[in-house]
Amino acid sequence: MIPSFRQFSGWTESSDNARQENSSPRQFTDSDFLYLQENFVVTDGVFLDENVIFDKVTPEWVEFCKNILKF
């Protein structure tokens, strides 16, 4: 869920890239799910290169994903 990602100190959200609802990007709530992809990019949906919400893949982010998120 989104609160897990928001624990990362370098987290930013490109909410403009969120999936469309009623012809505008949806607004995230703490109960929404985002998808951590195999390349460590986070998307709003299952597809790798669509609706990218976070793509600042740094060594710190990769470490966070492995050690905190257990990805």
What pLDDT is attached to residue 23?
A: 78
Q: What is the pLDDT of residue 9?
A: 97
Cβ-contact 11, 40 below 8 angstroms: no
Residue 62 pLDDT = 98
Helix (H, G, I), strand (E, B) or coil at 42: strand
DSSP letter string, 1-70? -HHHHHTSTT----GGGSPEETTEEPPP-TT---EE-TTS-EESSS-TTSSEEE----HHHHHHHHHTS-
Average pLDDT, the chain: 93
**Cα 60 from Cα 7, distance rounded (Å):** 13
pTM greater than 0.85: yes
